[in-house]
Amino acid sequence: MNIGIYPGSFDPITYGHLDIIQRSSKLFDRLIVAVLSNPQKKPLFTVEERIEMIRDSVNDIPNVEIDSFSGLLVDFAKLKKARVIVKGLRAVSDFEYELQMALMNKKLDERIETIFIMTNSKYSYLSSSVVKEVSSLGGCVATVVPPLVEKRLKQKFKIN
């Protein structure tokens, strides 16, 4: 079975992430969306909340599963018998960091390959950080996140 992993914090998931999930799901028998559990990043949403929002957003893609991990991504990939890591790129600025991570993952486990998928240009400006900032200030994020995510952001920021 050809298994890919799309890792990230997804705090919260955006339509940019979903674009990468939808497109990369066509490349694998099974795509695992792997939510990073890293309390040092001080996420807005718990891992469980992020998993629930992702599940709700991808329930129409049958070969996508959601899981969480902490520690080294290559260890999680071994555990899941995945050989490919999918990384989404928005701009050239993402590439340098993602290349560095891909090379380190390759050094840690030479069997792991990383593929880069460019996001749709209409999402090239979009990040979870921007979504949280706009939402926290009362701005509308309905066009950049799924409905459940918009609802949860309003609840977190106590916006009517």
Active site residues: 17, 41, 90, 128
Laid out side by side, the sheet with 64-69 consists of 64-69, 30-36, 3-8, 84-89, 113-118
Looking up tokens 């939510």 gives 35
* 81: Cβ contacts below 8 Å, ≥ 6 apart: 1, 3
